[in-house]
Amino acid sequence: MVTLKINGKEHQVDAAEDMPLLWVIRDIIGFTGTKFGCGKGLCGACMVLMDGNAINSCQLPVSLAVGKELITVEGEQENLQRLQKSWEKFNVPQCGFCQSGQLITATALLTSKANPTEEDIHNAMGRNICRCGTYQRIKNAINHSVE
């Protein structure tokens, strides 16, 4: 049994200690906004915030998330909610599959740097792949959210 704090609430889950955090979040707890893409730490679809940092939940054994503050795309976090509004305004998603991961990475960026430069955005968002190529709209949405 492990206890996780996700989106401000504690969840006790019956999971093996080495189960990837992603499966616990999606299949056991039911926050399905976090997606499975590559399962290899390469695409960023599975990103969640852990103590403010964007991490690939497909790569993290659940035991390493105990005692941490986890936030998924369903969570209430000021920068995340501001970005979600901006995502809507700029009609960012195409198929949408990667967008929760994109939002989580952008949230971590704005939380560490309130006014990121173009280079900061480019560097931070390089961890997330979008097969529909929404990169320019993502950049516009991030820039708009800090105006």
Binding site for ligand FES (CB under 6 A): 36-39, 41-46, 56, 58
Find the residue with minimal CB distance to ligand FES.
Answer: 58
Cβ distance to ligand FES smaller for residue 58 or 83: 58
Least Å distance, CB 139 to ligand FES, is 21
Least Å distance, CB 41 to ligand FES, is 5
Cβ distance to ligand FES smaller for residue 16 or 38: 38
Least Å distance, CB 128 to ligand FES, is 9
Least Å distance, CB 35 to ligand FES, is 7
Own/partner pairs, 62-69, CB within 8 angstroms, 24+ separation:
62/2, 62/4, 62/13, 62/15, 62/16, 62/17, 62/18, 62/19, 62/20, 62/21, 62/24, 63/2, 63/17, 63/18, 64/21, 65/4, 65/21, 66/2, 66/3, 66/4, 67/5, 68/5, 69/5
Cβ distance to ligand FES smaller for residue 2 or 129: 129
Cβ distance to ligand FES smaller for residue 46 or 108: 46
Cβ distance to ligand FES smaller for residue 45 or 70: 45
Strands ordered across the beta sheet of 53-56: 9-13, 2-6, 69-71, 47-50, 53-56
CB atoms within 10 A of CB 56: 23
Least Å distance, CB 97 to ligand FES, is 11
